[in-house]
A and B are shown apart, each in its own frame.
Chain A
Amino acid sequence: MSKLDVVIATDCGSTTTKAILIERQGDIYRQTCRGEAPTTVEAPFEDVTRGVLNAIQEIEELSGRQILDGERIITPAEGNRGVDIYISTSSAGGGLQMMVAGVVGSMTGESAQRCALGAGAIVMDVLAANDGRLPHEKIERIRHLRPDMVLLSGGTDGGTISHVVELAEYIAAADPRPRFGTGFELPVIFAGNRDAQSEVERVLGSKTALHLTENIRPVLERENLGPARHVIHDLFLEHVMAQAPGYRELMAWTGAPIMPTPAAVGQIMQTIARRQGINVLGVDIGGATTDVFSVFTVIGDDGVSAEPVFNRTVSANLGMSYSISNVLAEATMPNVVRWLPVDIDEADLRDRIKNKMIRPTTIPHMLEELQIEHAVAREALRLALVQHRELAVGLKGVQTERTLSDAFEQSGSGDSLIDMMSLDLLVGSGGVLSHAPRRSQTAAMLIDAFQPEGVTQLAVDSIFMMPHLGVLASVDEKAATDVFERDCIVYLGTCVAPVGDGKVKAGEPCATYELTIDGAAGGATRGALGYGALDLIPLAEGVEADLILRPNRGWNVGAGAGQELRTRVRGGVVGLVLDGRGRPLDIPEDLEARRRSLTAWNQALELYDDSGEEA
């Protein structure tokens, strides 16, 4: 592309289509305007382009730039007219829904699951030869789910083919129909033992739209997810998107392929992690689902090579409105109630949560209602991370060797790649985090749910711009990272959390600190962090500081037990949060003691009381 000065990007969500305008200002790109309109995939419009045009019109009104000529997007930009490129992501119509199959659930089944999730799909079920279900139960399951596509894997290249062919036979017997387009054949991707390709083709070739690609597990100790993910993206555009109302036209408008929304978020996360050389964990908590993304650098078997590994999981029934009751069901009442500093009758709490489920667009009017939602959010986030830890394990994303003995132990929780101590940046997104009345509430929810260890920067995607930037990154990485840094992310601050089993009583210090703020008069601020305490030190957005942490014996802040850590920390709209509550978080079981602790922690961060200024 010769020139990229003005970009219009949309994200077509299930309910809202969000548009942003990005313009080059000198050497950097900035997001300058945003608009939104209801998504129009469903009746009575049944044409996604209506919502896109409405959202763009809102931007036209706000920016004064003419972007549309009737129903055509003007390209390229000339003066105050037109844009250089239009790009879009989509999760409308429920996103990309897939079913995956592998011979052994914990091996090729899990690889297939990672492959589909990384491509931005919701995995409806994982079918495996050893999943304990009887053949007719598997066939019934395939028939009822109606996925957008199926990923079939299994077997290493050159190994036995009978098990994966058996799975193909079940799929053929189910004769599944795709969700959209009754006259179309269901896309099935075969990414298993290459020796089984001809047999799989014989079984499924005439009944499905079969696509053959490289094995996602060519040998036991290596995963190769890239080729199958590319096929998933191609089929998403060709089959799923092309069948959804209006998408064929929308695809003709865009200057880059439309990406599934979560795939785009994953793209920007990976771009940021790579460019800054950091480990990133991101979460997007929506009304129905919660997505967790992670990029962690993993040291290779040679002990020297390091490679960032991307993982994504979606917790399909953890969310803050449609799925809020499911959070309660999965987390259980005691785990939700433990975050509430006020006394609420359990039956009443149940009714309130169900009422939110059936009227998902309502918002907390009273403080007590807000505290209930924040309590539920902590549990939804916690459970989503548990699920992410379980899948982000063992093998590296692409072409990485492990020893054979490791390969047999990959599903164990001890093998999770998610190491909170090495996490550098934790990014939150989604209504309950982005729209919390105070940013300190957002920080508290992230800290309580994810329990970052050592020194971790906290941020929030204020207006859910990451999908747009993900697809922009595929066009121009610099433009995407410029906007990410300057307009997308609101830095909340940094969390410092010593971890350890050092025996100290509540209130006794678990670490001391020395903070020297850049440009501040008066030298360093020194203090001690008491066990069980939560402290907030003002450190404004854009300000950095030198921090020296000296943990007590048995406590670790990132340099090893009892070892001093010298680091740079970045401020934010909340500040520097010193969390001495231990890991895992030590919440008193006694009702009165818990209330006292919660009240003290809430006051320290000025979460809900009126005493402090709004953070």
Chain B
Amino acid sequence: MAHAYTPGLRVTPYTVLRRSRRLPMKGLVLARVGETVHREQVVARTELPGNVRTMNVVNRLGIAADELHTFMLKKEGDSVQKGEAIAASRPLIKWFKTTVEAEVDGVVESISAVTGQVLLREPPLPVEVLAYVDGSIVEVLADEGVVVETRGAFVQGIFGVGGEAYGPLHVLSDAPGQDLTVEMIDAGCAGRTIVGTGLVTHAVIDKARQVGAAGIIGGGMHDSDLRILLGYDLGVAITGAEDIGLTVIVTEGFGRIAMARRTFDILRACHGRQASLSGATQIRAGVMRPEIIVPDLGGAPPIAEKDATHGEGMREGDPLRVIRAPYFGHIGKVGRLIAELQKVESGASVRVLEVEFEDSSRAVVPRANVELIEE
């Protein structure tokens, strides 16, 4: 392999970012190229086909399926109201007449003379896509959505839960490695994105949810707390659709881990500024990490967005974090790239490098167990 290392998470105080905002199916795009948009502005809209309600009309009328058409009062394509008669029997004595009424508002989608079923399609469901970040439209994706460009601070987390949220950053720690406590969360956190720099517990998240915080960011969390938060054991890392009342992002991993200083410095510098965040994480093909974007549209001229996953490889002096025991969470830099395979404690012979930690100590670790901190 050309690069035997994990591409790093991006953590940068100022960059240019583009975000595609697509509808799940074709629809109407509501913004134009060059238009300035607000994060909560609707930029595209469509309608998903309504739910389908099946009604077994032949059973209710006590007739054969191939007779169904002769008993139908409505035909395919007709609109119906809930409670409106759609089929009726024709007994000799009117008193015995049986009527089948529509169970929902909608349109008659199909009438089957084989199964005796009538399918009613409910009215379409509107779907709207928001701009997500303050910025401007740089591209319109015909009938599908837009590309929004913004400038500002950008921090990728390692794992998150909950969808997109908005709220000014509210930094409650003054150094990396400080756990958030329940007492630190008060009414002043309402509508804000709380930032801690150590462990985030379920009790803290729960309090943040109670006071109405938009999101909460920390260094790490325990899996046991995640399980309580979600109500189930998360098996596969595909998140973002959880309905948990706020968005939770950890920047380092599971366990009590201090937030990297660089991440902390950037978030602290953005204290009080409006942030867009997303907890969506996907670790299979098409990697997606949770993110915090703090737009600063009045900043310096744009620099093209760097592609984080296709860097030029690892060089001596590059900042990195170790992402596996025994040095998990430690920050350092590439000391020396060792060409020969080396046997590590587990007995495996692997490609390694020498890491120089912040306290100047050094250790040899597998290359697969470090990730570059990318700007």
- Interface residues, chain A, with chain B CB atoms under 8 Å away: 14-16, 36-38, 41-42, 44, 93-94, 135-136, 139-140, 161-163, 165-166, 169-170, 172-175, 177, 182, 199, 203, 288, 317, 322-323, 325-326, 328-330, 347-348, 350-355, 357-367, 369-370, 435, 437-438, 608, 614
Contacts and interface: CB of A to CB of B under 8 A. Distances in A.
* Interface magnitude class on chain B: 35 or more
Given A42-B286, A136-B51, A165-B112, A370 B254 contact: no
B7 to A, nearest CB: 9
Contacts of A437: 346-349
B264 interface: no
A175 B52 CA distance: 11
Contacts of B33: none
Contacts, number: 177
B1 A16 contact: yes
Contacts of B236: 288, 317, 322-323, 325-326, 357
Given A348-B255, A358-B281, A365-B325, 19 more contacts: A16-B1, A38-B1, A41-B285, A44-B310, A93-B285, A166-B115, A182-B25, A326-B235, A350-B254, A351-B255, A354-B159, A355-B323, A355-B328, A359-B253, A361-B368, A365-B344, A365-B345, A437-B346, A437-B348
Given A322-B237, A330-B235, A366 B325 contact: yes
A175 B348 contact: no
Contacts of A354: 159, 223, 226, 234, 253-254
B121 to A, nearest CB: 8
Contacts of B368: 361-363
A362 B6 contact: yes
A362 B223 contact: no
B328 A329 contact: no
Interface of B: 1-2, 6, 25-26, 49, 51-54, 65, 109-110, 112, 114-117, 119, 121, 158-159, 222-224, 226, 233-237, 253-255, 281, 283-286, 307, 310, 323-326, 328, 344-350, 365-366, 368-369, 371
24 contacts: A14-B284, A42-B286, A136-B53, A166-B114, A172-B110, A323-B236, A325-B235, A348-B255, A351-B222, A354-B254, A357-B236, A358-B237, A358-B253, A358-B254, A359-B158, A360-B283, A362-B6, A363-B366, A365-B345, A367-B345, A367-B347, A370-B347, A437-B349, A614-B347
Nearest to B26: A182
A352 B310 CA distance: 27
Contacts of B281: 358
Contact of B366 (A140, A161, A365): A365
Given A139-B52, A365-B346, A367-B347, A322 B283 contact: yes
A369 B109 contact: no
B235 A359 contact: no
A351 B255 CA distance: 6
B115 A162 contact: yes
For chain B, what secondary structure do more than half of its interface residues adopt (helix, strand, loop), or is it mixed?
loop
A326 B283 CA distance: 14
B114 A36 contact: no
Residue of B114, B233, B349, B368 most packed against chain A (CB within 10 A)? B114
Contacts of B323: 355, 359, 362
A165 B328 contact: no
B286 to A, nearest CB: 6
A185 B112 CA distance: 23
A367 to B, nearest CB: 5
A94 B285 contact: yes
B6 A359 contact: yes
Contacts of B119: 169, 173
